[in-house]
Amino acid sequence: MRIGFIGLGKMGLNMALNVMDKQWEVIGFDASSQARERADAATVQTVSTIEALLDSLDEQKIIFLSTPAGRITNSLVEDLLKALDKGDVIIDSGNSNFNDSLKNYQAAKEQGIHFVDCGTSGGMEGARNGACLMVGGDEEAVKIVEPFLKDLACEDGYLYSGKAGSGHYLKMVHNGIEYAMMQAIGEGFQLLEASDYSFDLEKVANVWNHGSVIEAKLMELAEQSFAQDPHLDEIKGEVDASGEAKWTIEEALSLDIPVPTIALSLFVRNQSKISDSFSNKVVASLRHGFGGHAVVKSN
């Protein structure tokens, strides 16, 4: 089974290499010629148009999207639905809003095309070596691509979560929790940095990540950040918010569910655009560590 990858950025290229290691045949496309050149250099076969991509796939076409949420992904799905046939499968592995995924699922279903929403976590390392996948869609559709998705995932890192939209709903809530966890880590290290003690923050993060109840991947990333820049002097405490926490809060409001910690973590990110703080430097470094998100350098 050939898989057509659309989007060969930080996540897409690493996921393509991941499944190629498991003997899956991948044909890739990206609108950026530089991204295609990087993929070619990494031994991923690419084509220069979506039409050429579709022509290179099997009779039942499997398209795997790793593209920015919102207009770009939704437009791609709209264009693909004009070119695909009944029984073909589109997998959206990006951070799409689950409401968009429901609309794309319904549009695909009306044409007999399968749409699978695949929440993806684990950052660039997970993409390359085994991701955490939360997969929603009709069971019939998921069964077609499940061997591929299980090979893409790490051990025990695959979940079929149920009906359409459920995969991206899970990823939305996952990212809301992630915001809150990163904020707590950032605030804790800010307190350590401001204290009268001369803590080696790299060593603190290391010991907390061995047997502690706050042992976590994020703590490992904190250790790596402090190893490179012990007091994060090169980073400005400005943190972007990519949307998922806002969607989590909006969904919580619609269900009358209180999520004060997640809400406050988003508000702190918004406030970070106004003022600088050490806790925000930590959060910015963590986002860079797992997702390659850009950091703002101190002047």
> What's the token pair of residue 263?
């809400």
d(CA 202, CA 224): 7
How many other C-beta atoms can be found within 10 angstroms of the C-beta atom of residue 203? 12
d(CA 270, CA 50): 37
CA atoms within 13 A on the CB side of 74: 13
The phi, psi pair for 28, rounded to 5°, reads -115, 150
Per the annotation, the verdict on 273 as an active-site residue is no
> What's the token pair of residue 212?
């502690």
Q: Write the DSSP symbol of residue 199.
A: -
Of the candidates 82, 139, 150, 178, the residue annotated as catalytic is 178
Of the candidates 171, 238, 246, 281, the residue annotated as catalytic is 171
Q: Quick one: which H or E segment has residue 45? A: strand 45-46
Residue that the structure tokens 């923050």 belong to: 201
Q: 223-259 b/e with 16+ CB inside 10 Å = b?
A: bbbbeeeeebeebbbbbebebbbbbbbebbeeeeeeb
Active site residues: 171, 178
